[in-house]
Amino acid sequence: MIFSVAVGPAFQGKGFGVALLRWADEQTRLWHLPEVRLYTNAKMERNIALYKACGFHETGRRPNPYRPGWTIVDMAKAAQTTAIA
């Protein structure tokens, strides 16, 4: 489970977020886990698009119990069987 992915505004768009997701893929493979999961806010449309571009798919949506009116988007990606180039 990826709890949080964050890249400072000055460093966004430079590939750091993708690098973090690749690292998570590698750890998932090394630890022989079946998948990697994360969640985000439904309003974070750019994040959702990035996660989908990196192979994640949406597994569900649910109300955020700590922020009334917000919706959590759950996402998952099957583990890679080989290292990512």
Q: What is the per-residue pLDDT for 77?
A: 95
**CA nearest 25: which of 82, 73, 79?**
79
Look at residue 84 and tell me whether its pLDDT is greater than 70.
no
Please give the average per-residue pLDDT across 68-80, as a whole number: 93
pLDDT in tens, 15-64: 999 999 999 999 999 999 999 999 999 999 999 999 999 999 999 999 99
Q: What is the per-residue pLDDT for 4?
A: 78
CATH fold label, 9-78? Aminopeptidase (3.40.630)
Q: CB under 8 Å to 36, separation ≥6 — which residues? A: 1, 2, 24, 25, 28, 76, 77, 79
Longest pairwise C-alpha distance within the chain: 41
Q: Where are the chain's structural domains? A: 9-78
